[in-house]
């Protein structure tokens, strides 16, 4: 921790991708069609079963009952819960279409419901959704089945219902315990409510409980966030996700309700991050990477120690490289050597399914260079190390020749104490692990060609 200076934090206080994929989603093109996606599904179905990657499902439920001003997610604000019933019918159609092209009963080892607010669905609707998924896919024992939960939408009975449906992991959106900050972002939820829900979730037996925090929100100060961190240490969830707030009101309309004058300055944001790193370490959390922290016995921390970390559109994962099926409005998938994204509006999404087509509106067929750079970036992001020989054997290149320019840039980072270079490969240092997005950015061909990075959040 002593090597993580304010100067380093300030130097890397720049925008950059989160690398839940490479190439990143902003590089997807509309020229990629639903027909190309169907071809990728059928290639998976018809290929040798032994070579098929594990399968993961993501379901996007866009509805929220109230607006959180900081939110940059694809969501629909409504108090009309009857809107979820037709959406569930369209989800069922999309699931059935996937099964038609993939084949029925494919094994699924990871399922995540995100949003929006997945618990906008009633217990009966969630049960119906899980029933449809189980009819067309095989959710294997021991898999990771998680759901994002707005604490304001559940009680002890609902948590019990989620467990009975097969969910074994919960992620609670907290962001900040300070009442003034909660009021400023239009998300008021008493700390006592969160504590009671986490205690009940533990009693029920959920395998892992995650809590999200955001620093850089309006009316936050280093001192107020210290108090939130102290409460977090007392709550002691299995995992903590600590995100930097990215204020981009020109892109995300809800953020226009936040007064710029209420936002903490850059110096205070850096201070909050530095204190957060220290507080979570003192509370016994392992720094998994980027914005993820976990208790030492959590599966994510164990995977980090054993070199088994992976990364997908939900962030760090213990699951091996998966094909990902994205279901619902705006959901992103990754099947074979392609990425795809569904329509972002309900109208487009429903129109496609009414015509019997999958609602793909853009995507990308990745190139040989993309696959190579993805392997390099994911090795750095997940293992913090890279063997030249392993990349050379897998991709039939000479690493030092192919990446000569990148190695020059890494030499500067070596002088900063972020990486170690030798004849065998690259090692991210303990200090560099806190800035691993910056290290990975060196290998991003698209960023090299396009320096307009303002579309991304800050890398710390």
Name the maximum alpha-carbon separation found in the chain: 62
The Cα–Cα gap between 93 and 138 comes to 18
61-91 residues labelled b (16+ CB within 10 A) or e (exposed): bbbbeeebbbbebbbbeeeeeeebeebbebb
Which residues belong to the annotated binding site for S-adenosyl-L-methionine? 58, 70-72, 115-117, 148, 175, 187, 212, 246, 332
Beta strands in 22-136 (DSSP E): 55-61, 63-64, 76-77, 106-115
* DSSP code per residue over 418-442: SEEE-SSEEEE-TTGGGGHHHHHHT
The Cα–Cα gap between 395 and 386 comes to 14
Cβ atoms within 10 Å, residue 54:
17
The Cα–Cα gap between 323 and 40 comes to 10
Residue with tokens 């219902």: 161
Within 306-455, residue ranges assigned H as helices are 346-354, 368-383, 388-395, 399-402, 404-415, 436-441, 445-449
The Cα–Cα gap between 265 and 23 comes to 31
304: Cβ contacts below 8 Å, ≥ 6 apart: 286, 288, 289, 294
Which residues belong to the annotated binding site? 58, 64, 68, 70-72, 115-117, 148, 175, 187, 212, 246, 332
Cβ atoms within 10 Å, residue 243:
16
Residue with tokens 């530095």: 274
71 membership: H or E segment, kind and range: none
List Cβ<8 Å contacts ≥24 apart for 357-362. 357/34, 357/97, 358/34, 358/37, 358/38, 358/94, 358/97, 358/98, 359/34, 359/94, 360/32, 360/33, 360/34, 360/37, 361/30, 362/28, 362/29, 362/30, 362/32
**CA 416, 381, 391, 404 torsion-angle sign:** negative
The Cα–Cα gap between 152 and 21 comes to 31
Which residues belong to the annotated binding site for [4Fe-4S] cluster? 64, 68, 71
Find, among 299, 321, 289, the residue nearest to 440 by Cα.
Answer: 289
The Cα–Cα gap between 458 and 435 comes to 11
Task: Tell me the CA distances in angstroms from 217 to 262, 410, 459, one per residue in order.
Answer: 8, 33, 16
The Cα–Cα gap between 383 and 97 comes to 36
Beta strands in 162-256 (DSSP E): 169-175, 208-215, 239-244
């Amino acid at each position: 921790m002593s090597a993580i200076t304010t100067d380093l934090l300030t130097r890397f206080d720049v925008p950059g991708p989160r690398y839940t994929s490479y190439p990143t989603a902003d590089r997807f093109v509309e020229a990629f069609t639903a027909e190309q996606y169907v071809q990728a599904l059928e290639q998976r179905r018809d290929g040798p079963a032994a070579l098929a990657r594990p399968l993961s499902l993501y379901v996007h439920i866009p509805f929220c009952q109230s607006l959180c001003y900081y939110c940059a997610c694809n969501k629909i604000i409504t108090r009309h819960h009857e809107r979820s019933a037709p959406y569930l019918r369209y989800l069922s159609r999309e699931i059935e279409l996937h099964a038609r092209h993939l084949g029925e009963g494919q094994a699924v080892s990871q399922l995540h419901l995100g949003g929006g607010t997945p618990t906008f669905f009633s217990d009966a609707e969630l049960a119906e959704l899980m029933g449809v998924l189980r009819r067309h896919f095989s959710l294997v024992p021991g898999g990771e089945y998680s759901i994002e939960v707005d604490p304001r939408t559940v009680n002890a009975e609902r948590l019990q219902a989620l467990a009975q449906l097969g969910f074994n992991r919960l992620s609670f959106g907290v962001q900040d315990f300070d009442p003034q900050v909660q009021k400023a972002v239009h998300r008021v939820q008493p700390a006592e409510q969160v504590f009671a829900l986490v205690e009940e979730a533990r009693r029920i037996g959920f395998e892992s409980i995650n809590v999200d925090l955001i620093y850089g929100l309006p009316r936050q100060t280093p001192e107020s966030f210290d108090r939130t961190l102290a409460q977090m240490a007392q709550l002691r969830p299995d995992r903590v996700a600590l995100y930097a707030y990215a204020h981009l009101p020109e892109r995300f309309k809800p953020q226009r309700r936040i007064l710029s004058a209420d936002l903490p300055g850059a110096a205070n944001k850096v201070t909050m991050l530095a204190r957060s790193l220290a507080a979570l370490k003192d509370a016994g959390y392992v720094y998994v990477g980027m914005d993820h922290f976990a208790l030492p016995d959590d599966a994510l921390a164990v995977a980090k120690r054993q070199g088994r970390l992976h990364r997908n559109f939900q962030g760090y994962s213990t699951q091996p490289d998966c094909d990902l099926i994205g279901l619902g409005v705006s959901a992103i998938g990754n099947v074979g050597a392609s990425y795809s994204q569904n329509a972002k509006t309900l109208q487009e999404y429903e129109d496609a399914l009414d015509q019997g087509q999958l609602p793909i509106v853009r995507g990308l067929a990745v190139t040989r260079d993309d696959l190579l750079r993805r392997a390099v970036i994911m090795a750095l992001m997940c293992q913090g190390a890279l063997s030249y020989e392993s990349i050379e054997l897998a991709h039939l290149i000479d690493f030092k020749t192919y990446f000569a320019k990148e190695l020059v840039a890494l030499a500067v980072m070596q002088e900063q104490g972020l990486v170690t270079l030798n004849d065998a490969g690259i090692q991210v240092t303990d200090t560099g692990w806190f800035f691993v997005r910056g290290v990975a950015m060196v290998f991003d061909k698209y960023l090299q060609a396009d320096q307009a990075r303002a579309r991304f959040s800050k890398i710390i």
